[in-house]
Amino acid sequence: MRRIVGLLGLVVFAAGCAIVPSLPPVDDPVATWLSRQAELKPVTTWKIRGRVAMRSAKEGWQASMNWERAGDRHRIDITGPLGRGHLRLVQDSRGAELRDADNRSWRAKNAEQLLYRKTGWRMPLDGMYYWVLGLPAPGAAANHELDGQGRLSKLVQSGWEIQYLEYTRYGSLDLPSKMFIKRQGGGAKINDPNNSLLEVRLAIESWAFDKL
């Protein structure tokens, strides 16, 4: 595969949302952050449409992504990666299933491990279930930095560094619309043990909620 040029170029956002402009800082970013966490933690049903790109030291790919969550059930459709055409990854209480464009399927207990085993790419899904909302994943130590509005600007957790580059407003919430996630070390690619770099870029074009 060739190096991606113009990764994740221009993103067009859906109607009903607005890119959050530069705002004056709030009086107490920490208090705002605590309030923000309380508001976001109950949000467990949503649909995301956007694009994802991954790059190691020697190769990369980009694809469109549709991600639906309903409680503990996640369904992620990735179209265009690795010449495979389409991948559907489902995680629920029974485990994980990966299905490709030829309708072949594989199962495992964990979606992140299943994707890694079958494609060789370690996409940090366990953390991304929370990071996409602008929250740290529960149960793992994390360091973070806040912006002037009491939102995450940087999060370091479970060996990954997440930079929040842009937020978009949906209803009363400011939600991430551009994220850059990177990891150094840990063997990003199965077939290349010397390849320790992995970067994930996520551009969210739209969020949809049953209730907001």
87-120 confidence digits (pLDDT tens): 999 999 999 999 988 899 999 999 999 988 888 8
Structural domain count of the chain: 1
Predicted local confidence at residue 80, as pLDDT = 82
Predicted local confidence at residue 55, as pLDDT = 87
Predicted local confidence at residue 171, as pLDDT = 84
Tell me the per-residue pLDDT of 106-159, one tens digit each, with 9 for 90 and over.
Answer: 999 999 999 888 888 888 999 999 999 999 999 999 999 999 999 999 999 999
Query: How would you label 13-31 residue by residue, b for 16+ Cβ within 10 Å and e otherwise?
Result: beeebeeeeeeeebeebee
167 bridge partner residues: 176
Let me know: does 4 contact 60? Beta carbons within 8 Å. yes
Q: Does residue 195 lie within any of the structural domains? A: yes
- Concatenate the DSSP letters of all residues of 94-153 into one string: TEEEEEETT--EEEES-HHHHHHHHHSB---HHHHHHHTTT-PPTTS-EEEEE-TTS-EE
How would you classify residue 21: left for phi > 0, otherwise alpha for psi between -120 and 50, otherwise beta?
Answer: beta
State the pTM of this model: 0.81
Q: Does residue 170 lie within any of the structural domains? A: yes
Residue 59 belongs to domain with CATH number:
2.50.20.10
Q: Does residue 101 lie within any of the structural domains? A: no
Q: Does residue 89 lie within any of the structural domains? A: no
Range of the structural domain that residue 49 is part of: 23-64+122-208
Tell me the per-residue pLDDT of 4-47, one tens digit each, with 9 for 90 and over.
Answer: 333 333 333 333 455 555 667 888 999 999 999 999 999 999 99
Q: Does residue 46 lie within any of the structural domains? A: yes
Q: Does residue 112 lie within any of the structural domains? A: no
Average pLDDT over the chain, rounded to an integer: 83
Q: Does residue 48 lie within any of the structural domains? A: yes
Predicted local confidence at residue 158, as pLDDT = 92
The C-alpha atoms of residue 16 and residue 72 are separated, in whole angstroms, by 27
Predicted local confidence at residue 19, as pLDDT = 55
Predicted local confidence at residue 5, as pLDDT = 31
Overall average pLDDT of the 175-187 stretch = 81
Q: Does residue 60 lie within any of the structural domains? A: yes
82: confidence class by pLDDT, cuts 50, 70, 90: low
Q: Is 185 exposed, middle or buried (0-12, 13-18, 19+ CB in 10 A)?
A: exposed
Q: Cβ contacts of residue 142 below 8 Å, gap of 6+?
A: 136, 155, 156, 157
